[in-house]
Amino acid sequence: MLYAGIAWSADGYQVEVVDADGARALPPTHWGADRVPELTRWLTGEERHPQGPCAVALESTNGLVDGVFTAAGLEVYRADPWHLGDRPDFGSVPALALAELARTGRDALAPLTAEGGGQTGRDDDYHDGIRRSAPVEAQLTEAGRWFRHGPRDRPEIALTFDDGPDPVHTRQVLDILARYDVVATFFCVGLHVRALPDEVRRIVDAGHGLGNHTWSHPFLPDLTARQFRLQLDRTSEAFDRAVGRVPAVFRPPYGSRTPETLAELLPSGPALALWDVDSWDWARQGPEKITSTVLDHTRPGSLILMHDGGGDRRQSVQALPAIIEGLLARDLAFVHADTLAGLPETL
Indicate the residue among 145 and 313 with the shorter CB distance to Zn ion: 313
Burial class of residue 153, CB neighbours in 10 A (0-12, 13-18, 19+): exposed
Q: Does residue 198 carry a catalytic annotation?
A: no
Cα–Cα nearest to 262, from 159, 151, 131, 162: 131
Cα–Cα nearest to 222, from 257, 271, 187, 250: 257
Indicate the residue among 189 and 246 with the shorter CB distance to Zn ion: 189
The nearest distance, CB 222 to Zn ion, in angstroms, is: 15
Q: Does residue 307 carry a catalytic annotation?
A: yes
Cα–Cα nearest to 69, from 161, 6, 2, 162: 6
Indicate the residue among 42 and 275 with the shorter CB distance to Zn ion: 275
Indicate the residue among 17 and 170 with the shorter CB distance to Zn ion: 170
The nearest distance, CB 252 to Zn ion, in angstroms, is: 9
Of 85-93, 160-168, 226-234, 281-289, the window that binds Zn ion (rule: CB under 5 A) is 160-168
Of 123-131, 156-164, 168-176, 283-291, the window that binds Zn ion (rule: CB under 5 A) is 156-164
- Nearest 5°: the CA angle 309, 310, 312 is 80
Of 120-128, 251-259, 260-268, 269-277, the window that binds Zn ion (rule: CB under 5 A) is 251-259
The nearest distance, CB 160 to Zn ion, in angstroms, is: 10
Q: Which of 16, 34, 80, 162 lies at the binding interface for Zn ion (CB under 5 A)?
A: 162
| Dihedral over alpha carbons 173, 175, 180, 181 (to 10 degrees) | 100
* SS3 of residue 341 by DSSP: coil
- CA–CA gap between residue 174 and residue 336 (Å, rounded): 14
The nearest distance, CB 25 to Zn ion, in angstroms, is: 32
**66 in contact with Zn ion (CB under 5 A):** no
Compute how many residues bind Zn ion; rule: CB under 5 A. 3
The nearest distance, CB 70 to Zn ion, in angstroms, is: 15
The nearest distance, CB 231 to Zn ion, in angstroms, is: 13
- CA–CA gap between residue 87 and residue 208 (Å, rounded): 36
Active-site residue, selected from the candidate residues 80, 307, 308, 338: 307
The 3-class SS string of 20-71 reads CCCCEEEEEEEECHHHHHHHHHHHHCCCCCCCCCEEEEEECCCCCCHHHHHH
Of 16-24, 144-152, 159-167, 221-229, the window that binds Zn ion (rule: CB under 5 A) is 159-167
Indicate the residue among 180 and 280 with the shorter CB distance to Zn ion: 280
Indicate the residue among 103 and 213 with the shorter CB distance to Zn ion: 213
Cα Dmax for the chain: 64
The nearest distance, CB 22 to Zn ion, in angstroms, is: 34
**281 in contact with Zn ion (CB under 5 A):** no
The values of phi and psi at residue 172, to 5°, are -65, -40
Indicate the residue among 130 and 328 with the shorter CB distance to Zn ion: 130
Q: Are 245 and 194 in contact (CB under 8 A)?
A: no
Active-site residue, selected from the candidate residues 34, 66, 125, 162: 162
Of 28-36, 48-56, 246-254, 257-265, the window that binds Zn ion (rule: CB under 5 A) is 246-254
**Which residues does residue 160 pair with via DSSP β-bridges, in sequence order?**
185, 305
**163 in contact with Zn ion (CB under 5 A):** yes
Can you say whether the dihedral through the CA atoms of 137, 141, 147, 151 is positive or negative?
Answer: positive
Q: Which residues are catalytic?
A: 162, 307
Query: Which residues lie near Zn ion (CB under 5 A)?
Result: 162-163, 253
